[in-house]
Amino acid sequence: MVLNASESRGKDICNVESAVNQAQEVGSNIFDTASKVIGPVIDFVKPGIDATLPLVKQAGEEVLKTASPVISDATKKAQEAIQSAGMDSQPVMTADKVRL
C-alpha cells in the first residue's frame, strides 16, 4: 500500500494530535496527584499557622516598640554627627520628605 502526500500528512496530523492528547492526560494526572498530596498537607499545617500568626504579630509589635526609641536615638546622633562635621543635612531631609 502506497500513501500519497495528502494521506501521509493526514496520518502525521493524527499522530501529533494523539501525542498532544497523551501529554494533556499525563499533565492532568500529575496535577490531580499533586493536588491529592498537597491538599492534606495544607489542611494539616493550616491550623498551626492560624494559631501562631497572632503570636508572631504580637512579637513583631513588641520588637518594633522596643526598637523604635533606639532607631530614633541613632538617627538623631547621626544627624548631630553630620552637622558637627560641617555638613548641611537639610537638603537630604527635605528630599526624603518630598519622596514620602
Higher pLDDT, 97 or 50: 50
Q: How confident is the model at residue 10 (pLDDT cuts 50, 70, 90)?
A: low
How far is Cα 61 from Cα 91, in angstroms, rounded to an integer? 32
pTM: 0.38
Q: What is the pLDDT of residue 29?
A: 87
**DSSP helix/strand/coil, 19:** helix
Domain boundaries, the chain: 11-85
Cell (9 digits) for 43 = 489542611
**Summary mean pLDDT of the chain:** 81
Per-residue pLDDT tens for 19-42? 888 888 888 888 888 888 888 988
> Ramachandran region of residue 58, left (φ > 0), alpha (ψ -120 to 50) or beta?
alpha
Average pLDDT over residues 87-91: 72
DSSP letters spanning 42-81: HHHHHHHHHHHHHHHHHHHHHHHHHHHHHHHHHHHHHHHH
